Amino acid sequence: MHSLDPVTLAVIQAGLQQVCNEMDLAFVRSAFSPVISEALDRSDGIYDPINGDLISQGELGLPVFVGTMQFGTKCVIERAKSITPGDIFIVNDPYLGGTHLMDVRFVKPFFYKGELFAWLANTGHWPDTGGSVPGGFSAKATEVEQEGLRLPPVKLYKGGVIDEEILSIILSNIRVADQRIGDIKAQAAALSVGEKRFEELIDRYGSEIVKGAITELRTRAARQMRACIDEIPDGEYRGVSIIDSDGVKNEPLKIDLKIKCEGSELYFDLSDSSPPCLGPMNSVIATTKSSIYLAIKHIFPDVPLNAGTFEPLHIQDPKGTFLYAEYPRPVSGCAAEVSQRIAEAVFAALVDAIPEKLFAAPAGTSGNFCLGGYDPDKGSSYVMYVISGGGYGGSAHGDGISNGCSTIGISKTTPIEVMEQYYPVLFEEFSLHEGSGGAGKYRGGFGVNYKVKLRRGEARASMVMDHGRTGPLGALGGEDGATNKVRVERDGEFYTPPHLSKDQDITLKAGDTVRVSTPGGGGFGNPLERDPHLVNRDLKRGYYSKDEAIEKFGYK
């Protein structure tokens, strides 16, 4: 093997990431569903041929899929009896290294000159996989079968040819099935693009050089993460975050996290969290671990991303809690909501220890809103899925961003013009949720308001959101951000979900509306220490009334 000089190592590192970036772009540009093509709810990566460990993930993928996809790939490897070039496994089983049923994973063996060199995998959020409500976010599900079709690892493509029998089973169990074939082909095509680009990279440098680079990059990532952890004083830290309810029992769930820092290692203990719940807010272990990974990556963003990044992070399995879901516990809220509460607990635990690196809690909800029905003008059924942004927490470096994407990824709200084109809806409002950021020396960013009206036909609305009971946590004396709010208007009468942020099967007819206000981020530091010029600026922009400014910041 030739010596691996630093320049070659850096080029191969960038090359691996570029392979993943091109897979992401190919997926987005060819996908049919707006949740993938516009909202970017997907991810692609390269994984170890033996154990599925992460080799590289693109810059454009969702961080929450970083951990889960390596667990999911490992499960495929363990169950794959025989593999040939062109095979693609499909799997969405949450208990086999997954998230919720709507996140469908494709896993493909990558061969180089006859040798199994790696696995390529991607995840795409399908807007529907069956289940009791359109979109899969059943707020009242008590078992996973109510949430949709559950697929173990099966070969959807065999030797490059799609298995029509397996495809027919899938399409027979989901809504708007005719539209899913476009997403399926886009997901498979993205892996084919990765296969081609990865082969070109290995052709250029040779398989031994690339293998050596992968090993070295993992070693360096672990070393760099340990160097970052060294900045945290040794000791024990605790963070607690609250989930509104499980959707079935109207009581809060608690995430109680203890972190022990010993030298360059971190140990995470979630064993004091709430027990398994009846509703869909249980989290499978892959998602629980991935949530901690992404939280630490938020704190130390410069550490390169591969399996070495996670080596110093030791997570005790929280068996006996709702963060270690086992069959048949429902889990539709785990990836989009519980994951963000786990990250919030990490932030809350460490903010006192390393305040310059951290921030108050962000909005911490994806605002999952699904509307399904029949459009009489188009003569077809539809499922609309909306995710929404919220405020980021303030930090020692300034105010939080307004209308930022969720903690778990780069997904964004589908442009309302696109949704109005696809679905029989009209967005009567899309505005800043003024004043929703928690007060602080540096205030939290603001959430958004949107109001959507059903223009024709009838539909069913469902939602799994969070932070309706308590707002995102402030830090170091800062105040909490404003809560999430949902209000439905039907025939001139207003309805608020009993669980505040979770409900399902809300029947709507033409003219009815749903209004959502997303949370603002928490404030950072004592509000009375806020620069008066910044308070005055916010007043001029209309973010606060004068009375609010006096109350929150002692404005004079």
Q: Is the peptide bond between 34 and the residue preceding it cis, with omega within 30 degrees of 0?
A: no
The pLDDT tens digits of the residues spanning 304-314 come to: 999 999 999 99
Alpha-carbon torsion (43, 48, 53, 56), positive or negative = negative
Please report the pLDDT score of residue 1 as a whole number.
46
Which regions of the chain are under pLDDT 50? Answer: 1
- The DSSP code sequence of 478-533 is PPPPPPPEEEEEETTEEE--TTSSEEEEEEEETT-EEEEEPPPPPPBS-GGGS-HH
Please report the pLDDT score of residue 2 as a whole number.
55
For residue 166, give the nearest of 151, 179, 177 by alpha carbon: 151
Give the pTM: 0.95
Alpha-carbon torsion (498, 500, 505, 509), positive or negative = positive
Q: Are 121 and 72 in contact (CB under 8 A)?
A: yes
Please report the pLDDT score of residue 59 as a whole number.
84
Neighbours of 152 (CB within 10 A): 14
Please report the pLDDT score of residue 487 as a whole number.
97
Q: How far apart are CA 544 and CA 525, in angstroms?
A: 19
Look at the block and give the residue holding tokens 């669980």: 499
Please report the pLDDT score of residue 3 as a whole number.
66
